[in-house]
Amino acid sequence: MAKPTRICCIGAGYVGGPTMAMIALKCPEIIVTVVDLNESRINAWNSETLPIYEPGLFEVVKACRGKNLFFSTDCRYHVAQADIVFVSVNTPTKMSGVGAGKAADLAYWEGAARMIASVSTSSKIIVEKSTVPVKTAEAIGKVLRRNCPHPDVQFEILSNPEFLAEGTAIQDLTNPDRVLIGGKETESGRAAVAALASVYAHWVPAERILCANLWSAELSKLTANAMLAQRISSVNSISALCEATGADVQQVAHALGTDSRIGPKFLNASVGFGGSCFQKDILNLVYICESVGLKRVADYWHSVIQINDYQKHRFVEMVIGSMFNTVSGKKIAILGFAFKKDTGDTRETPAIDVCHGLIADDARLSIYDPQVQQDQIFRDLSMPKFQWDHPMLPNGAQVPFSSREIDRTVSVSSDPYKACAGSHALCVMTEWDEFKALDFDRIFASMSKPAFVFDGRNILDHERLRSIGFIVYALGKPLEPFLQKQ
């Protein structure tokens, strides 16, 4: 293929929007259009308030929007025009039927493929940007070929998984560790890989553009997420042992991380990992292993999720146990609801499970997050698991708590001091920088006594808090006498 001049991306979400904005910024001669069925999302991309919060994103979008970057709901038209079609639709965990609770739901992907086939009158490169099970390209190829009415139209499918993390998307896209492109080992496959590589070559050094076969690229993405999550579960499991023995998980992690074979990143003990990817992708990996008869391998990766669930339960038990085994009727401030700092995304945030655990014990929660709105928090707390990633499905599955129960027990505050006033305890759920700068003398004075801090992210100055008078639980750190079981 000659140098691509028109790119269309199906799916204007956390991946499609930022990745296409970066391509448009770096490749001014390419027309990039991001399409989505969700009209309000597209309207937001065309407005001054983008649909996602991501540091630096607005500046990139503003620099190209209306020049070579466009957002539209006219999916069929823009796909038909494109040389390269990225598919960046959601691939959530299946909620029902075969593989429910584990397998990836490829319904959105298949819908996109059928649409591409039906509107294409010219050959195209189709790029899997979504995270998909290994061998998806084969299935999608069949859908494309069987549904396209024009026999001359050829589709070359590439796997080009995305490794950006939310909150640092623009940084990650500007300076990626690597760009991975998988393609068929045929002449046309290699040509397609070269065409896509030429897009990234506008700003990514050649040695960081890795080429692989299709199945290796697909599997690398699932494995990368599984291994990142595995590091967190490993250090989180050790955080429990630290509390039991008087070791300090941050000191242990530092000692481990200075071994150049281990490295220092992704060793921060936490209340648990969240986000739309880790759990979903590990469950998908587990399902694939089970499907090919590798039960021992499936069990190994499943244990990463089990430890993550254990960590969240352990945190709830610590809160309730420390507060004399009951939080019934007690106000507890929840600082942070997003799954990590610098994002407003709440998908699979550990805060949901912790809040549910506390509500089950009849606590009254007062939640503050600088980027998450009240309606989102209420939706998350009254929604069944996995429903968050099915934006187009009607409601219906069973909810853990009714909306009425959530209304009765939860309030959301736009001011952290109001959230904490009158509370018995505050729980740090997200590592927002602004929490470190709060006036804890003022907060302590406004709280019931004994006043507890449960730091699920280890971001606060625990010694200072103790000197103010707080009882402090710091995850994976030696327990102060008040918190030790007799």
Ligand X SMILES: O=c1ccn([C@@H]2O[C@H](COP(=O)(O)OP(=O)(O)O[C@H]3O[C@H](CO)[C@@H](O)[C@H](O)[C@H]3O)[C@@H](O)[C@H]2O)c(=O)[nH]1
Ligand Y SMILES: NC(=O)c1ccc[n+]([C@@H]2O[C@H](COP(=O)([O-])OP(=O)(O)OC[C@H]3O[C@@H](n4cnc5c(N)ncnc54)[C@H](O)[C@@H]3O)[C@@H](O)[C@H]2O)c1
Q: Under the rule (CB under 6 A), what is the footprint of ligand Y?
A: 10-16, 36-38, 41, 75, 88-91, 108, 111-112, 130-131, 162, 164, 166, 276-277, 391
Q: Does 162 engage in binding with ligand X (CB under 6 A)?
A: yes
Decide if residue 157 touches ligand X (CB under 6 A). no
Q: Does residue number 266 form part of the binding site for ligand X (CB under 6 A)?
A: yes
Residues 6+ apart with CB under 8 A from 266: 228, 231, 232
347 annotated ligand binder: yes
By CB under 6 A, tell whether 164 contacts ligand X.
yes
Has 89 been labeled as part of a binding site? yes
User: How near is the Cβ of 430 to ligand X at its closest, in Å?
Assistant: 8
Q: Can 355 be counted among the known catalytic residues?
A: no
Give the number of other CB atoms < 10 A from CB of residue 302.
Answer: 19
CA gap 17, 129 in Å, rounded: 12
The helices-and-strands tally (H runs, E runs) of the chain is: 18, 14
For ligand X, which is the closer residue by CB, 336 or 416? 336
Half-sphere exposure in the Cβ direction for 291 (13 Å, CA): 14
Contacted by 16, from ligand X, ligand Y, none: CB < 5 to 8 Å by type: ligand Y
| Residues 377 and 78 sit within 8 Å (Cβ to Cβ) | no
3-state secondary structure of 128: strand
C-alpha distances (whole Å) from 44 to each of 13, 192, 241 are: 11, 33, 47
321 is in an annotated binding site: no
- Residue 303 to residues 297, 308, 419, 452: CA-CA distances in angstroms? 10, 8, 35, 31
258 among annotated binding-site residues: no
- Please give the size of the binding site for ligand X, defined by CB under 6 A: 20
Residues in 316-375 at the binding interface with ligand X, rule: CB under 6 A: 339-340
By the rule CB under 6 A, 428 interacts with ligand X: no
Q: Which of residues 320 and 352 has its CB atom nearest to ligand Y in the complex?
A: 352
Residue 36 or 380: which CB sits closer to ligand Y?
36
Q: Is 161 annotated as a binding residue?
A: no
Q: Does 225 bind ligand X (CB under 6 A)?
A: yes
Q: Are the C-beta atoms of residues 134 and 222 closer than 8 Å to each other?
A: yes
Which of 216, 233, 140 shows the shortest CA–CA distance to 181?
216
CB 326 within 8 A of CB 319: no
At its nearest, how many Å lie between ligand Y and the CB of residue 317? 30
Binding residues vs ligand X (CB under 6 A): 131, 162-166, 225, 228, 232, 266-268, 270, 273-275, 277-278, 339-340
Residues designated as active site: 277
Q: Known binding site: residues?
A: 11-16, 36, 41, 89-93, 130-131, 166, 277-280, 347
